[in-house]
Structure 1
């Protein structure tokens, strides 16, 4: 598709919108913008699919503002009505969209349009007050919007939406992945049917097609791909490298030092992994600012993300929470600890770089047992991974440096018990996440050398896990000297005082004191637990089918049928009691006939 000039689009854009686009430096339209904007402006429902970083945000923001300008000319916009709703899967992406729209509303001709940001994790009263002040454009997350519609009757948000013109579902496939399917169905029930709907996503799934059928009317499907053979931007170079499990941390550490990354993202498997490496990495990279974000941080995330945007020579440790929609043009490298649980997430992870026509790179370290992931991801997601060692200078692992780094990891845990605890939690959560890989035929947990991986984490000891076998213990390289783990203190004085008190009670009683008494349940391997869970699920399914096909056969207890003779006896007894009540017979006669 030929990229068009913004000023030549038909029907023409208004002056304030063009002025703001020009100020932001967007001289030409991207293919997705050239395809989608005219369709929405001509009152069509649109389903748009394009690679990450292709400019989808402006593709729905521009026509949305044009529709409001047109409506304003026909009749003044009411302050208490909501005319446009943008739903985003995460708070970070919603905040980012809000800032983009905010730039347009700074134009004098558009300054009368009111807008609000509705996010979960903060008091509902603040959002209610914001809507009451005026919210002609609402940028929100689905959970908060669903709550305001269904639970807050005094707000009457459904009444405020009766003249809504446009609904946008951004990163729609991610909305469904996060379990918002039922919430979206509820939201759609409150919205007027006479509206324009835009559904934007980087990938198409079966669940997404179900949502299209439920919420859009005769939509135009737009699929824009820069090349038929890849699903990532042209200027993005994706690499992989095969490393031994015990060398993974050292390899990535050397890689960051040698490349001198100005701004990068580092994706880790779990929240606990982010917490651990955020504590550990600054010691090894004193010249680089290390930030960390994961889903359990709640409202801290926006502040951390803003600091990362403004910083230079920095790396952000994160989970897949930031794999979608995050737009930071300066990101040069995307590093990953291992393949994501969902293969489609790889496309979104690497798409955080090479945005808006800029160049970028990504690197995925793989273990020797994971080499089949390279052809799989090329076939499954059309992402071609190049071998880093063939295209660049090979980074050799220095044994002395390896020993020094391991000693430094051990020392950090000896100095602060909190780091020791975080390391144990990070390793266990990482292994648990590995068992949940969708492509578990390629990434098999039973093939993992758990001892070598624990060595790469720099753990002082192996955690207690039913999966740890003797071979894993033989693989593990811990500290050279014996360690009294009870003597490792917390740096936090209050926490250390509490630990010492509990330790004293433990030495007296032999039982570690805790607030809640937990039942001792013998743990079982995760794979076995998964099999047992699936077996129970199949049994429940079988019982339901049996009950559906044979209602009587599915019941454990059957009622005994009442015979006609028993009914006649009961009727005779009732008649006798009535005679006694009306004094037609004496009590002696009643007792005689009733055989008392």
Structure 2
């Protein structure tokens, strides 16, 4: 990509912004040429390859616009809002913004990403803010529940929708529409994304006014950075983990890896396994169900010199972690566009990086699919199998499960969630569950026995070889949990019924499945209607509060007013005395 100096821009940047850019080490700007357009009052929809510096492309014009206003910003007057799809990305944007604000004391920001009660976020907001960085769900909650915020955002100059395609992928379309309805129309809007979709085009039409469309790619036929080497390797389902372990050992432990897995349960399980297999490197886990713990894990990996972060696609977007050398993908992502974003965690801002995708023989068509669909070309990497590592991984997983029943539960949950996620894959025309040997896949998870699930009915599972062990004898290390398990096991042996399933069985006898589903849909419909009515009332209240309130004059008021006027006339014509007048007016 061609670059130019910040000083060479048509519009001169403020000294405070230039000083911060030099301090952060950004001496050249990347070619997202939206900064001059935004500064000149245009709305912008920018599509740029991942890792190309989109964050700076909206932060710089945002700060310049707010600084150039003649009137000083009040403590509680919002001039800009940045909407980001995930907490991690919002935190990262907030941290970069804070570096700039150290030299701009007149402006303050607030971060609203949930994880705390709504009231606490409202209290943070009341302390004063000119820039809001938020996730869409929390921003909508505050706009709809915190009535006074409508007064504070009437001077809004700039709205940023970062990773807009991801916002829509996560189902925030209705939330964004609601947010836009609260904001003033006379504003500048910047929409930034790594990919373009039909839904995104609809959002552009709804939220932007005659926008300038900017597309930045390094080559017309490539969606990922030139410095990124994309590779794939073909492996059998039972050998994926051994190949990954061998690969990391061969590359070395003095580097950073990100391993993407399809589900939270897979992340939980394989993190424990890899921590045991690779004790000499720091192995961390991060997924969407971790809530507040995610921040600590994210920061720990971000500032570490080396390590492995095992995660779901919650970390696939916009996150900028320095010096990630390898992105390893256990399997193809469920959404094709996520492939570009996963790979984009490495080779950021001109740095070199590598990405490796592990495919089964039945998934080889994905290579051509991703080339056509996402314009990403993959070269094949041959990896030799190490029999010792294969045996080491299998024995390690099975030993861990036999020592602690918690690991046995985690292994089964991971396998079940993987199969269910694969069955719902977006690319199900070329990635079909029926093509996979599920017995071999279970061996790859180191299972002690095959779990009971609908997807396994009628399947040939002869390739699965489990140890001869009674799984009911595997204990929990946690004493209280083990006591509860033994109690339930004894009850089962005496009654033939698991205690936690009794309520479920009784319910199934009372009503049919179709009836249960019908009631569930009715409840959901009622909830959505209540929510719509609540939002409508709040919007009506806002409309009334923004206008001057007029008192309604009914017939009784008119009649009383006529009597008062007649009384005043009588008093002026001296038809009644002062005392009579005072009594009539109750003075």
How far off is 1:514 after superposition? Answer: 1.7
Residue of structure 2 in register with 1:86 after alignment: 82
How far off is 1:496 after superposition? Answer: 1.1
Q: Is it true that 1:508 corresponds to 2:494 in the alignment? A: yes
Q: Is it true that 1:143 corresponds to 2:137 in the alignment? A: yes
Give a deviation string over 1:483-537, Cα, whole Å, max 9, x none: 1211111111121111112122222222111287113899xxxxxx9xxx9xxx9
Cα distance, 1:130–1:6 mapped onto 2, change above 3 Å: same
Residue of structure 1 in register with 2:409 after alignment: 421
CA RMSD of aligned residues (A): 1.7
Residue of structure 2 in register with 1:593 after alignment: none
Q: Secondary structure at the match of 2:461?
A: helix
How far off is 1:386 after superposition? Answer: 0.5
Whether the 8 Å CA contact 1:329–1:354 is kept in 2: the answer is: no
Q: Please say which of residues 248-257 and 85-94 is displaced more in the overlay.
A: 248-257
Q: Please say which of residues 437-446 and 198-207 is displaced more in the overlay.
A: 437-446
Residue of structure 2 in register with 1:28 after alignment: 28
Q: How many corresponding residue pairs?
A: 510
| Residue ranges of structure 2 left out of the alignment (5+ in a row) | 522-587
Cα distance, 1:220–1:160 mapped onto 2, change above 3 Å: same
Alignment counterpart, residue 311 of structure 1, candidates 304, 307, 330? 304
Residue of structure 2 in register with 1:543 after alignment: none
In 2, the alpha carbon distance for the partners of 1:152 and 1:9 equals 40
Give a deviation string over 1:274-330, Cα, whole Å, max 9, x none: 011111111100111110011111111011100111223310010011110110121
Q: Is it true that 1:263 corresponds to 2:261 in the alignment? A: no
Alignment counterpart, residue 49 of structure 1, candidates 40, 47, 52? 47
In 1, the alpha carbon distance for the partners of 2:78 and 2:217 equals 34
Cα distance, 1:521–1:326 mapped onto 2, change above 3 Å: farther
How far off is 1:469 after superposition? Answer: 5.1
Q: How does 1:108-507 map to 2 (within 5 A)?
A: 110-153=104-147, 156-261=148-253, 262-389=255-382, 395-468=383-456, 472-479=460-467, 482-507=468-493
Give a deviation string over 1:367-395, Cα, whole Å, max 9, x none: 01111111111111000010012xxxxx3
How far off is 1:457 after superposition? Answer: 0.6
Q: Please say which of residues 124-133 and 398-407 is displaced more in the overlay.
A: 398-407
Cα distance, 1:418–1:143 mapped onto 2, change above 3 Å: same
Whether the 8 Å CA contact 1:329–1:356 is kept in 2: the answer is: no
In 2, the alpha carbon distance for the partners of 1:138 and 1:470 equals 55
Whether the 8 Å CA contact 2:405–2:475 is kept in 1: the answer is: yes
In 1, the alpha carbon distance for the partners of 2:434 and 2:506 equals 26
How far off is 1:125 after superposition? Answer: 1.5
Q: Secondary structure at the match of 1:130?
A: helix
In 1, the alpha carbon distance for the partners of 2:306 and 2:74 equals 47
What's the TM-score once normalised by structure 2's chain length? 0.85
In 1, the alpha carbon distance for the partners of 2:398 and 2:11 equals 65
Cα distance, 1:29–1:387 mapped onto 2, change above 3 Å: same
How far off is 1:405 after superposition? Answer: 2.3
| Residue ranges of structure 1 left out of the alignment (5+ in a row) | 390-394, 523-528, 538-596
In 1, the alpha carbon distance for the partners of 2:161 and 2:137 equals 13
Residue of structure 2 in register with 1:15 after alignment: 15
Residue of structure 2 in register with 1:106 after alignment: 102
Whether the 8 Å CA contact 2:73–2:106 is kept in 1: the answer is: no
In 1, the alpha carbon distance for the partners of 2:15 and 2:222 equals 37
Residue of structure 2 in register with 1:568 after alignment: none
Cα distance, 1:6–1:492 mapped onto 2, change above 3 Å: same
Residue of structure 2 in register with 1:64 after alignment: 62
How far off is 1:158 after superposition? Answer: 1.3
In 2, the alpha carbon distance for the partners of 1:370 and 1:327 equals 30
Whether the 8 Å CA contact 1:267–1:318 is kept in 2: the answer is: yes
Cα distance, 1:192–1:411 mapped onto 2, change above 3 Å: same
